[in-house]
Amino acid sequence: MQQRERAMFDTAELAVALSYYDLGVVESITDFPRGSWRSPKVGIVCERGKFLLKRRTVSSARLDRVRFVHRVQTHLIAAGFPVAKLVPSRDTGQTLVQIRSHIYELFEFVAGQSYQYSTAETHDAGLMLARFHQATGNFAASPALPTPRGDYHDAAGVRTGLCAIGSTLSSHDSFSGDEAELATLIQFLLGQYDRAADAVNAAGLATRPERIVHSDWHPGNLLFRNQKVVAVVDYDSVSYSRLAVDAANGALQFSIIGGGDPDTWPDHLDEERLAAFLAGYESLVPISNEERRCVPWLMSEALIAECVPPITETGSVGRWAGFRVLQMARRKLIWLESNGERLMTRV
């Protein structure tokens, strides 16, 4: 199975990048192997505290995207939302530093624990997403920057990716011996994605206003302390969309049951955590009847969309063979369609 090699900093590069910031004496630098494999990160302990340095590859579109993301983060900080603060450079006061072909960002380090799957944490994760939506409700876009739009709902890219898996990746070693079943599986996923998208459209999602959404609300992007969210990280996917799209993806991410080989994952979701997440969200932001009808179908779309990009790129999802992940997705999609309406009456 193809493995992606994580990008790393080298010593000279770190010395140059850190010279742009007023940190005092650096005591230690530690690799921080989380998040995108393309964007290396290191933790820094220095005279002025603890920080996290992140690197991205430069392109004109990427530069505008980072500037947009930083405007959203600055807006959130002003609203009192728990964001890891961006550290401005010493000379320009800008929150990003461009050195040749790379962009660097420095964040204040926030200590916290990973998600432990408790209902209390899950409720607070839903509540915090609602706080995010409230805080960004008055965000003003800049005419100087492109406005990112798009999500996993009814997306041509998801359909194209599924077709690519079936047509160009059937010879990948993760699908070896399963080529015939793969074709049937892809057709099922395409049909299920279309069915879910049609149901969402029929329920009237397009009539809801567009707002800033996080677009990647999952346990790995939240830090907890005493079962409360203390920081939300990774705003790379923020864009304009409908709030229900964000809430449904969060509900899926915080209720899915996994771990170990995907063959062993149960068909069902954790209904208690699903209810806790949506109850936390609705304690601040009500979900309309139209949106409520959309949520289970949006969860189905989100599940399919989550699998497609890594499989089209590498044939796998992390350490898991792509074929097994798609089989797991099929089982959960069947369960979701059979139980979606019942799930929403529980909340």
Name the residue type at position 157.
G
**Same domain, yes or no, for 330 and 248?**
yes
The confidence score (pLDDT) of residue 337 equals: 96
Among residues 48, 77, 108, which one ends one of the domains? 108
Average pLDDT, the chain: 92
| 49, two tokens | 């505290």
**Same domain, yes or no, for 181 and 304?**
yes
Q: Which residues contact 241 (CB under 8 A, 6 or more apart)?
A: 149, 150, 151, 153, 210, 211, 213, 215
Average of per-residue pLDDT across 129-137: 97
**Same domain, yes or no, for 260 and 335?**
yes
Q: pLDDT tens digits, residue range 6-29?
A: 788 999 999 999 999 999 999 999
pTM confidence score: 0.93
The confidence score (pLDDT) of residue 277 equals: 98
Average of per-residue pLDDT across 278-297: 96
Domain count, the chain: 2
114 in a structural domain = no
The confidence score (pLDDT) of residue 1 equals: 40
d(CA 61, CA 64): 5
Q: Can you tell me which residue has the tokens 């074709």?
A: 183
Kindly tell me the number of DSSP H helices and DSSP E strands found in the chain. 9, 11
Among residues 89, 108, 127, which one ends one of the domains? 108
The confidence score (pLDDT) of residue 292 equals: 94
1 in a structural domain = no
Other beta carbons within 10 Å of 62:
12
* Confidence band, pLDDT 50/70/90 cuts, at residue 322: confident
d(CA 32, CA 44): 10
Among residues 108, 129, 163, which one ends one of the domains? 108
**Same domain, yes or no, for 340 and 243?**
yes
**Same domain, yes or no, for 89 and 131?**
no
The confidence score (pLDDT) of residue 41 equals: 94
The confidence score (pLDDT) of residue 2 equals: 46
- Strand 320-321 relative to strand 26-31, pairing: unpaired
Res 61 pLDDT > 70: no
C-alpha 60, offset from chain centre: 23
Other beta carbons within 10 Å of 51:
22
* Confidence band, pLDDT 50/70/90 cuts, at residue 67: very high
CB 224 within 8 A of CB 82: no
6 in a structural domain = no
Would you call 3 helix, strand, or coil by DSSP?
coil
Average of per-residue pLDDT across 212-226: 97
Other beta carbons within 10 Å of 101:
9
**Same domain, yes or no, for 40 and 178?**
no
**Same domain, yes or no, for 130 and 201?**
yes
Domain at 75, CATH number: 3.30.200.20
- Strand 316-317 relative to strand 102-108, pairing: unpaired
Query: Which residues does residue 57 pair with via DSSP β-bridges, in sequence order?
Result: 102
Q: pLDDT tens digits, residue range 94-121?
A: 999 999 889 999 999 999 999 999 999 9
Q: pLDDT tens digits, residue range 220-234?
A: 999 999 999 999 999
Would you call 266 helix, strand, or coil by DSSP?
coil
